[in-house]
Amino acid sequence: MENFPAIELLNVGKSYGRKNALEDVSLTLSARQCLALVGHNGAGKTTLIKIILGLLKPDAGTLNVLHADPGRRQFNQLRRNIGFLPEQVLFQKTLTGRETLAFYARLKGVAVNNLDPYFERVDLQDAADRRVGTYSKGMRQRLGIAQALLGQPKLLVLDEPTSGLDPVARQNIYRILDDEKKNGTAVLISSHVLTELDDRIDRVAILNQGRLVAQGSIPLLRHHINMRSRLRIRARQDTCESLVAAFRLELPVERISGEEILLRCRPDQKMDVLSRVMAMEEGILDIELVDPSLEEVFNAYSATGPAFREDSNG
């Protein structure tokens, strides 16, 4: 299956009165990819999601979502290929989980007589015939995800998908998203929980006050602004002294204790530093390499705002 672009936005803008909610936003998301849309409160994430879903018209720019313009009437037909989980999942409390899912299945033209696999995927099989009013917050969230998965969508748009979920349920959701990706689905996640996204997304788009300040894979964004990785080394005292002497003119070096030092190296120095440290193998007891997290990348781009797109800046 080809990796066609599921979302292509070019120079999209939107204001509410005099408030510029989005300015000049250009964004792409391909099939089989997971993109995280991140930004502070009020950055414009919900506005962008509403525009992608065709619920809000932009004032400027061109849009292509599943090969169509979400603003056109023909897009209504395509909506059944999109699974959407809103930030606030509101269900009718008096209906059972099964009746709820059947309601959404009918809207999407999905057969209602075989909904069990959806309940199983989100671990709600034992609660499918209970009223939603008796569900916990996490169970309602999982029902919301089952609803978004109906009919094998080509595009999944999930606003805070793991909100209210325990660690096991969170892991299950990311497993489901991986399976969906393998089946060709493009996944867009909007989230504030950056710590859990690190190893789970392919690309990130950082919105800051309505502007997209960065877009690309986390390693690429780190590399672009030369963010330093931390190399924590436990070694014999004499080796620690040799390491400090060898690197102190080149890198920030911190002696944490008699047997521990911390080096901070740029992406282009990493391999060279590692091999020089490894050459002292006899005195080295342990090495831990920690790359800057998504949270650190987000903070760096949000603070300085060096606009970066992987296709325009190399």
Ligand X SMILES: Nc1ncnc2c1ncn2[C@@H]1O[C@H](COP(=O)(O)OP(=O)(O)OP(=O)(O)O)[C@@H](O)[C@H]1O
Residues forming contacts to ligand X in the complex (CB under 6 A) are 16, 19, 21, 39, 41-47
CB of 29 to ligand X, least distance (A): 17
**Is 45 or 222 the residue whose CB approaches ligand X more closely?**
45
**Is residue 142 a contact partner of residue 165, using CB atoms and an 8 Å limit?**
yes
Shortest Å, Cβ 258 to ligand X: 46
Nearest approach, Cβ of residue 195 and ligand X (Å) = 17
Residue 206: CB atoms within 10 Å: 27
Which lies closer to ligand X via its Cβ, residue 189 or residue 227? 189
Q: Which is nearer to ligand X, 30 or 209 (CB)?
A: 209
Min dist CB 14 to ligand X, Å, is 8
Residue 196 contacts residue 277 (beta carbons within 8 Å): no
Question: In the complex with ligand X, which residue's Cβ is closer, 188 or 220?
Answer: 188
Comparison of 42 and 133: residue with beta carbon closer to ligand X? 42
Long-range contacts from 37-41, C-beta under 8 angstroms, 24+ separation: 37/188, 37/189, 37/190, 37/191, 37/204, 37/205, 37/207, 38/190, 38/191, 38/192, 38/194, 38/197, 38/204, 38/205, 38/206, 38/207, 38/294, 38/298, 39/206, 39/207, 39/208, 39/302, 40/208, 40/302
Nearer to ligand X, 41 or 94 (CB): 41
Give the nearest distance from C-beta 158 to ligand X in angstroms. Answer: 14
Q: What is the distance of C-alpha 274 from the center of its chain?
A: 30
| Smallest distance, ligand X to C-beta of residue 19, A | 5
Would you tell me the crossing angle of helices 270-278 and 237-247 to the nearest 10 degrees? 150
**Shortest distance in whole angstroms from residue 140 CB to ligand X:** 19
Distance from C-alpha of 264 to C-alpha of 256, rounded to nearest angstrom: 13
The identity of residue 34, as a single letter, is: C
Of the two residues 16 and 152, which places its CB atom closer to ligand X in the complex? 16
For the chain, give the longest Cα–Cα distance: 73
